[in-house]
Chains A and B, each alone.
Chain A
Amino acid sequence: MTGAHWAVIGVLAIAAFSIRVVGLIAGGRIRASRHAWVLDELPGLIIICLVTSSLAGQPLQTWIAAGAALGVAVFTNHVIATMTVGVLVFAGLAMIGI
Protein backbone atom coordinates (compact mmCIF):
# COMPACT_ATOMS: atom_id res chain seq x y z
CA MET A 1 0.00 0.00 0.00
CA THR A 2 1.38 3.38 -1.02
CA GLY A 3 0.52 6.79 0.36
CA ALA A 4 -1.74 7.37 -2.65
CA HIS A 5 -3.73 4.22 -1.82
CA TRP A 6 -4.30 5.47 1.73
CA ALA A 7 -5.26 8.88 0.34
CA VAL A 8 -7.96 7.32 -1.89
CA ILE A 9 -9.38 5.46 1.11
CA GLY A 10 -9.27 8.57 3.31
CA VAL A 11 -10.86 10.93 0.78
CA LEU A 12 -13.50 8.35 -0.16
CA ALA A 13 -14.34 7.74 3.50
CA ILE A 14 -14.76 11.48 4.13
CA ALA A 15 -16.81 11.99 0.96
CA ALA A 16 -19.07 8.97 1.62
CA PHE A 17 -19.67 10.03 5.22
CA SER A 18 -20.33 13.64 4.17
CA ILE A 19 -23.11 12.42 1.87
CA ARG A 20 -24.72 10.70 4.86
CA VAL A 21 -24.39 13.86 6.96
CA VAL A 22 -26.13 15.80 4.18
CA GLY A 23 -28.94 13.23 4.41
CA LEU A 24 -29.13 13.68 8.18
CA ILE A 25 -29.42 17.46 7.88
CA ALA A 26 -31.87 17.21 4.97
CA GLY A 27 -34.04 14.72 6.89
CA GLY A 28 -34.32 17.07 9.87
CA ARG A 29 -35.29 19.99 7.67
CA ILE A 30 -37.78 18.03 5.59
CA ARG A 31 -39.40 16.59 8.73
CA ALA A 32 -40.04 20.10 10.01
CA SER A 33 -41.42 21.33 6.69
CA ARG A 34 -44.68 20.89 4.76
CA HIS A 35 -42.88 18.29 2.65
CA ALA A 36 -42.64 15.80 5.54
CA TRP A 37 -44.70 13.33 3.45
CA VAL A 38 -41.54 12.74 1.38
CA LEU A 39 -39.92 10.92 4.32
CA ASP A 40 -42.85 8.46 4.47
CA GLU A 41 -42.59 7.70 0.78
CA LEU A 42 -38.79 7.49 0.40
CA PRO A 43 -38.23 3.99 1.88
CA GLY A 44 -40.69 2.22 -0.40
CA LEU A 45 -39.51 4.08 -3.49
CA ILE A 46 -35.81 3.44 -2.81
CA ILE A 47 -36.39 -0.26 -2.12
CA ILE A 48 -38.45 -0.68 -5.31
CA CYS A 49 -35.61 0.99 -7.22
CA LEU A 50 -33.03 -1.29 -5.55
CA VAL A 51 -35.08 -4.32 -6.63
CA THR A 52 -35.71 -3.18 -10.20
CA SER A 53 -32.11 -2.05 -10.73
CA SER A 54 -30.92 -5.54 -9.81
CA LEU A 55 -33.50 -7.15 -12.13
CA ALA A 56 -33.00 -4.86 -15.14
CA GLY A 57 -31.25 -6.66 -17.96
CA GLN A 58 -31.18 -9.98 -16.10
CA PRO A 59 -32.11 -13.31 -17.74
CA LEU A 60 -35.49 -15.04 -17.46
CA GLN A 61 -34.19 -17.21 -14.58
CA THR A 62 -33.80 -14.14 -12.37
CA TRP A 63 -37.25 -12.77 -13.23
CA ILE A 64 -38.94 -16.13 -12.54
CA ALA A 65 -37.14 -16.39 -9.19
CA ALA A 66 -38.18 -12.79 -8.42
CA GLY A 67 -41.80 -13.66 -9.25
CA ALA A 68 -41.65 -16.64 -6.90
CA ALA A 69 -40.10 -14.49 -4.17
CA LEU A 70 -42.80 -11.86 -4.67
CA GLY A 71 -45.51 -14.51 -4.34
CA VAL A 72 -44.04 -15.73 -1.05
CA ALA A 73 -43.59 -12.16 0.19
CA VAL A 74 -47.21 -11.28 -0.57
CA PHE A 75 -48.57 -14.29 1.30
CA THR A 76 -46.11 -14.54 4.20
CA ASN A 77 -44.68 -11.00 4.62
CA HIS A 78 -41.60 -12.83 5.92
CA VAL A 79 -38.03 -11.92 4.90
CA ILE A 80 -36.33 -15.28 5.55
CA ALA A 81 -39.08 -17.33 3.88
CA THR A 82 -38.94 -15.04 0.84
CA MET A 83 -35.14 -15.25 0.60
CA THR A 84 -35.17 -19.05 1.00
CA VAL A 85 -37.76 -19.69 -1.69
CA GLY A 86 -36.22 -17.09 -4.02
CA VAL A 87 -32.73 -18.59 -3.78
CA LEU A 88 -34.02 -22.17 -4.09
CA VAL A 89 -36.00 -21.31 -7.24
CA PHE A 90 -33.01 -19.41 -8.67
CA ALA A 91 -30.62 -22.31 -7.97
CA GLY A 92 -33.18 -24.88 -9.19
CA LEU A 93 -33.61 -23.07 -12.50
CA ALA A 94 -29.82 -22.84 -12.85
CA MET A 95 -29.54 -26.60 -12.29
CA ILE A 96 -32.07 -27.43 -15.03
CA GLY A 97 -30.41 -24.96 -17.36
CA ILE A 98 -32.99 -22.15 -17.61
Chain B
Amino acid sequence: MSASVHAGSSQIVAVEQFASTQTVLGAALAGAALNLRYIGIVASLSDVLAGLPLRTKLLAIHITGDENWALTMAERAKSPDVGSDFLLGSGLVMISVWTASTTAGALVGAVLPDLERFGLGFAFTAAFIAMARGLWRGQSQMLPWLVAAAMTISSVSLGVPQAYAIVAGTLGGLVFLASRRRFERVKP
Protein backbone atom coordinates (compact mmCIF):
# COMPACT_ATOMS: atom_id res chain seq x y z
CA MET B 1 0.00 0.00 0.00
CA SER B 2 2.81 2.42 0.89
CA ALA B 3 4.52 1.83 -2.47
CA SER B 4 1.39 2.20 -4.61
CA VAL B 5 -0.33 5.05 -2.75
CA HIS B 6 2.65 6.96 -1.27
CA ALA B 7 0.52 9.25 0.90
CA GLY B 8 0.63 8.61 4.65
CA SER B 9 -2.39 10.52 5.91
CA SER B 10 -4.52 9.23 3.01
CA GLN B 11 -3.59 5.65 3.86
CA ILE B 12 -4.46 6.05 7.53
CA VAL B 13 -7.82 7.69 6.81
CA ALA B 14 -8.75 5.13 4.13
CA VAL B 15 -7.94 2.23 6.46
CA GLU B 16 -9.86 3.81 9.35
CA GLN B 17 -12.86 4.55 7.11
CA PHE B 18 -12.86 1.06 5.68
CA ALA B 19 -12.62 -0.48 9.16
CA SER B 20 -15.68 1.45 10.32
CA THR B 21 -17.86 1.55 7.16
CA GLN B 22 -16.67 -1.40 5.02
CA THR B 23 -17.31 0.67 1.86
CA VAL B 24 -14.46 0.48 -0.65
CA LEU B 25 -15.20 3.60 -2.72
CA GLY B 26 -16.08 5.80 0.26
CA ALA B 27 -12.92 4.81 2.14
CA ALA B 28 -10.67 5.32 -0.88
CA LEU B 29 -12.18 8.69 -1.80
CA ALA B 30 -12.03 9.93 1.81
CA GLY B 31 -8.33 9.07 1.83
CA ALA B 32 -7.61 10.55 -1.58
CA ALA B 33 -9.35 13.85 -0.74
CA LEU B 34 -6.72 14.46 1.95
CA ASN B 35 -4.16 14.54 -0.83
CA LEU B 36 -5.62 17.54 -2.66
CA ARG B 37 -2.62 19.73 -1.80
CA TYR B 38 -0.69 17.62 -4.32
CA ILE B 39 -2.43 19.49 -7.11
CA GLY B 40 -0.49 22.58 -5.97
CA ILE B 41 2.67 20.67 -5.10
CA VAL B 42 2.91 18.95 -8.49
CA ALA B 43 1.85 22.10 -10.35
CA SER B 44 4.74 23.97 -8.72
CA LEU B 45 7.12 21.35 -10.20
CA SER B 46 6.19 22.46 -13.70
CA ASP B 47 9.58 24.11 -14.33
CA VAL B 48 11.54 21.27 -12.71
CA LEU B 49 9.83 18.64 -14.87
CA ALA B 50 9.84 20.65 -18.12
CA GLY B 51 11.53 18.77 -20.96
CA LEU B 52 11.37 15.32 -19.37
CA PRO B 53 9.65 12.43 -21.19
CA LEU B 54 6.08 11.79 -20.02
CA ARG B 55 7.05 8.43 -18.48
CA THR B 56 9.70 10.09 -16.31
CA LYS B 57 7.28 12.85 -15.33
CA LEU B 58 4.72 10.27 -14.20
CA LEU B 59 7.37 8.43 -12.18
CA ALA B 60 8.56 11.71 -10.65
CA ILE B 61 5.09 12.80 -9.52
CA HIS B 62 4.43 9.38 -7.96
CA ILE B 63 7.61 9.35 -5.89
CA THR B 64 7.26 12.99 -4.84
CA GLY B 65 6.40 13.46 -1.18
CA ASP B 66 6.08 16.58 0.98
CA GLU B 67 9.64 16.28 2.25
CA ASN B 68 11.59 15.68 -0.96
CA TRP B 69 9.45 18.22 -2.85
CA ALA B 70 10.10 20.89 -0.20
CA LEU B 71 13.80 20.04 -0.11
CA THR B 72 14.03 20.23 -3.91
CA MET B 73 12.32 23.63 -4.01
CA ALA B 74 14.42 25.00 -1.14
CA GLU B 75 17.70 23.81 -2.71
CA ARG B 76 16.60 25.07 -6.14
CA ALA B 77 16.02 28.50 -4.61
CA LYS B 78 19.68 28.49 -3.53
CA SER B 79 21.03 26.99 -6.76
CA PRO B 80 19.05 26.88 -10.04
CA ASP B 81 21.13 23.83 -11.10
CA VAL B 82 19.06 21.71 -8.71
CA GLY B 83 16.32 20.13 -10.80
CA SER B 84 14.69 16.90 -11.87
CA ASP B 85 17.70 14.69 -10.98
CA PHE B 86 17.57 15.93 -7.40
CA LEU B 87 13.79 15.43 -7.26
CA LEU B 88 13.98 11.91 -8.70
CA GLY B 89 16.92 10.84 -6.53
CA SER B 90 15.44 12.17 -3.31
CA GLY B 91 12.04 10.75 -4.28
CA LEU B 92 13.46 7.26 -4.83
CA VAL B 93 15.21 7.39 -1.47
CA MET B 94 12.06 8.62 0.21
CA ILE B 95 9.63 6.06 -1.21
CA SER B 96 12.12 3.27 -0.42
CA VAL B 97 12.59 4.40 3.18
CA TRP B 98 8.86 5.07 3.54
CA THR B 99 7.89 1.61 2.29
CA ALA B 100 10.58 -0.17 4.33
CA SER B 101 9.86 1.76 7.53
CA THR B 102 6.07 1.39 7.33
CA THR B 103 6.58 -2.35 6.78
CA ALA B 104 8.92 -2.48 9.79
CA GLY B 105 6.42 -0.40 11.78
CA ALA B 106 3.64 -2.86 10.97
CA LEU B 107 5.83 -5.76 12.10
CA VAL B 108 7.49 -4.40 15.25
CA GLY B 109 5.92 -0.96 15.89
CA ALA B 110 3.87 -2.16 18.83
CA VAL B 111 6.95 -3.03 20.89
CA LEU B 112 8.74 0.29 20.35
CA PRO B 113 8.54 3.10 22.95
CA ASP B 114 6.71 6.35 22.14
CA LEU B 115 9.27 7.93 19.77
CA GLU B 116 7.22 11.15 19.62
CA ARG B 117 8.46 11.92 23.15
CA PHE B 118 12.02 12.18 21.84
CA GLY B 119 11.09 14.67 19.15
CA LEU B 120 11.04 12.34 16.15
CA GLY B 121 7.78 13.83 14.89
CA PHE B 122 9.06 17.37 15.48
CA ALA B 123 12.03 16.65 13.20
CA PHE B 124 9.71 17.04 10.19
CA THR B 125 8.36 20.37 11.45
CA ALA B 126 11.94 21.59 11.96
CA ALA B 127 12.88 20.42 8.45
CA PHE B 128 9.97 22.32 6.93
CA ILE B 129 10.96 25.44 8.91
CA ALA B 130 14.45 25.19 7.38
CA MET B 131 13.00 24.70 3.90
CA ALA B 132 10.70 27.71 4.33
CA ARG B 133 13.83 29.73 5.18
CA GLY B 134 15.39 28.49 1.95
CA LEU B 135 12.40 29.79 -0.03
CA TRP B 136 12.33 33.19 1.68
CA ARG B 137 12.91 35.88 -0.97
CA GLY B 138 12.28 38.98 1.13
CA GLN B 139 9.76 41.22 2.85
CA SER B 140 7.23 41.00 0.00
CA GLN B 141 6.44 37.43 1.13
CA MET B 142 5.80 38.37 4.76
CA LEU B 143 2.11 39.30 4.47
CA PRO B 144 0.97 36.46 2.18
CA TRP B 145 2.79 33.94 4.40
CA LEU B 146 1.16 35.43 7.50
CA VAL B 147 -2.27 35.25 5.82
CA ALA B 148 -1.67 31.61 4.86
CA ALA B 149 -0.41 30.75 8.37
CA ALA B 150 -3.33 32.51 10.06
CA MET B 151 -5.87 30.75 7.83
CA THR B 152 -4.27 27.37 8.48
CA ILE B 153 -4.18 27.82 12.26
CA SER B 154 -7.77 29.16 12.30
CA SER B 155 -8.95 26.20 10.22
CA VAL B 156 -7.26 23.65 12.49
CA SER B 157 -8.62 25.45 15.56
CA LEU B 158 -12.13 25.17 14.09
CA GLY B 159 -11.69 21.42 13.79
CA VAL B 160 -10.86 21.23 10.09
CA PRO B 161 -8.51 18.29 9.36
CA GLN B 162 -4.89 19.38 8.82
CA ALA B 163 -4.82 18.29 5.19
CA TYR B 164 -7.75 20.57 4.31
CA ALA B 165 -6.38 23.38 6.48
CA ILE B 166 -3.19 23.31 4.37
CA VAL B 167 -5.26 23.70 1.18
CA ALA B 168 -7.34 26.49 2.76
CA GLY B 169 -4.25 28.36 3.96
CA THR B 170 -2.51 28.07 0.60
CA LEU B 171 -5.59 29.33 -1.25
CA GLY B 172 -5.89 32.19 1.26
CA GLY B 173 -2.31 33.23 0.56
CA LEU B 174 -2.86 33.06 -3.20
CA VAL B 175 -6.07 35.12 -2.99
CA PHE B 176 -4.20 37.74 -0.95
CA LEU B 177 -1.40 37.87 -3.52
CA ALA B 178 -3.84 38.12 -6.43
CA SER B 179 -5.66 40.99 -4.68
CA ARG B 180 -2.37 42.77 -3.99
CA ARG B 181 -1.26 42.42 -7.60
CA ARG B 182 -4.58 43.81 -8.83
CA PHE B 183 -4.39 46.73 -6.36
CA GLU B 184 -0.82 47.55 -7.45
CA ARG B 185 -1.88 47.53 -11.11
CA VAL B 186 -4.72 49.99 -10.66
CA LYS B 187 -2.76 52.27 -8.29
CA PRO B 188 -1.99 55.56 -10.09
- A residues near B (Cβ < 8 Å) are 4-5, 7-13, 15-24, 26-28, 30-31, 37-39, 41-57, 62, 65-66, 69-70, 72-74, 77-79, 81-83, 85-88, 90-91, 94
Contacts and interface: CB of A to CB of B under 8 A. Distances in A.
A9 B4 contact: yes
A51 B135 CA distance: 13
| Residues of B in contact with A, size category | 35 or more
B126 A86 contact: yes
A41 B32 contact: no
A30 B93 CA distance: 29
* Secondary structure class of chain A's binding surface, majority of residues: helix
Interface stretch (B81-89, B99-107, B173-181): B173-181
Given A12-B5, A16-B7, 15 more contacts: A4-B18, A8-B27, A23-B45, A24-B46, A45-B144, A45-B169, A45-B173, A46-B37, A46-B44, A48-B132, A48-B148, A77-B130, A78-B130, A79-B74, A81-B130
Contacts of B98: none
Contact of B128 (A7, A13, A47): A47
Nearest to B126: A86
A77 B166 contact: no
A17 B44 CA distance: 16
B157 A54 contact: no
16 contacts: A11-B28, A13-B4, A27-B43, A28-B46, A31-B50, A42-B170, A47-B135, A48-B149, A49-B149, A65-B126, A66-B125, A73-B130, A85-B126, A87-B123, A87-B126, A91-B118
A49 B31 CA distance: 20
A52 B45 contact: no
A87 B70 contact: no
A26 B125 contact: no
A16 B131 contact: no
B162 A54 contact: yes
A16 B35 CA distance: 7
A56 to B, nearest CB: 4
B39 A49 contact: no
Given A9-B1, A54-B125, A49 B38 contact: no
Contacts of B37: 46, 49
A88 B64 CA distance: 28
